[in-house]
Structure 1
């Protein structure tokens, strides 16, 4: 089903004001977006327990406000913004820094020649490097690098200008790269 057809089906299901159709719309939305949104939240928070708590809040807000969605952006962008805001709020309310839950080993394999690096160490280094980023840079880095979202979408989600996002992503990449190079040089 194309993105347009998907949105039309969701609009139709929500327009009927039937409880069963609303439940079907929620089910379709959850099936379509749960994995991507959850991956972002887990990557941002670096803790699966915290991510589960935040995801509950995200889905409560999404489904609780679904009928209020105006369509000024795509449904995914609207949901991503809710997830982003919930992560920022959670981060503000908790003082924690833990290792990332995402599979950085696969990312490193695409970035380096396998014979150049011990991937068990490199995976830890990459997680550590991302963890050193300030929250806003980390969020931009995760959205751009892992989710491959375009800057205009990230701008809609975060409310930050595209120019600032590009600068933030660039500085995050420089910091991560420097951290990894330093670790490689220390361990040669």
Structure 2
């Protein structure tokens, strides 16, 4: 099914297609949400809220970017909002869904498969790398998450964040530098090397 057909079905409230969408994106959304909450239970709640917002706002999708870019933008913005508010919930909930779209919406976010982040962990301790990313300022964490965990291009990130490609490059460079400094300090030694695509 092509992207246009998927969006069309989602706008009709097709729960089978929505469940497939959740299956495709849940690992990445969960992994990234954890970077912002640093708590498994909060991550489950946040991931659930992200998918509810996607479901409730699909009518606003206008094909001016890829569906995945739109989804990651929603997810990232909600994660940033969550962190800024320190657990003060201000997200779309089940009760705010349109009556015609409730349809006993139940999402299964949990998955026993390895999280996407594990692909970039190398020989270093996963927890320390997670902590280093968690502690980054949001401006750098956002681009690192989008590039390394969502596998978005510079252009896709620029579009999602509504900034220039040059700004994305600068933030990514500075974010990696800060991350490396944190990892060298906490992991020990000076040989840490962050895997990058280029």
Q: Counterpart in 2 of 1:87?
A: 79
Report the Cα distance in structure 2 between the residues aligned to 1:93 and 1:106, rounded to whole angstroms: 30
Tell me, yes or no, if structure 1 residue 163 matches structure 2 residue 166: yes
Moved more, 148-157 or 81-90: 148-157
Change (3 A) 1:46 1:160: farther
| Structure 2 unaligned spans of 5+ | 88-114, 191-198
Report how far residue 57 of structure 1 moved.
1.7
Report the Cα distance in structure 2 between the residues aligned to 1:11 and 1:35, rounded to whole angstroms: 21
Q: Counterpart in 1 of 2:179?
A: 176
* 1:146 aligned to which of 146, 149, 169: 149
Q: Counterpart in 1 of 2:62?
A: 70
Between Structure 1 and Structure 2, the one with more helix by share is 1
Q: Counterpart in 2 of 1:98?
A: none
Structure number with greater CO (CA < 8 Å, separation at least 6) is: 2
Tell me, yes or no, if structure 1 residue 9 matches structure 2 residue 1: no
> What's the secondary structure of 2:136's corresponding residue?
coil
Tell me, yes or no, if the aligned pair for 1:13 and 1:24 is still in contact at 8 Å: no
Q: Counterpart in 2 of 1:99?
A: none
Q: Counterpart in 2 of 1:50?
A: 42
Report how far residue 161 of structure 1 moved.
2.3
Report the Cα distance in structure 2 between the residues aligned to 1:79 and 1:51, rounded to whole angstroms: 17
Tell me, yes or no, if the aligned pair for 2:143 and 2:172 is still in contact at 8 Å: yes
Report how far residue 54 of structure 1 moved.
1.5
| Structure 1 unaligned spans of 5+ | 96-101
* Deviations 1:93-113, CA, capped at 9 Å, x for gaps: 107xxxxxx68676342xxxx
* 1:28 aligned to which of 12, 20, 28: 20
Change (3 A) 1:58 1:149: same
Q: Which has the larger radius of gyration?
A: 1
Tell me, yes or no, if structure 1 residue 134 matches structure 2 residue 126: no
Report the Cα distance in structure 1 between the residues aligned to 2:132 and 2:77, rounded to whole angstroms: 23
Report the Cα distance in structure 1 between the residues aligned to 2:139 and 2:62, rounded to whole angstroms: 27
Matches within 5 A, 1:112-123: 119=124, 122-123=125-126
TM-score (norm 2): 0.69
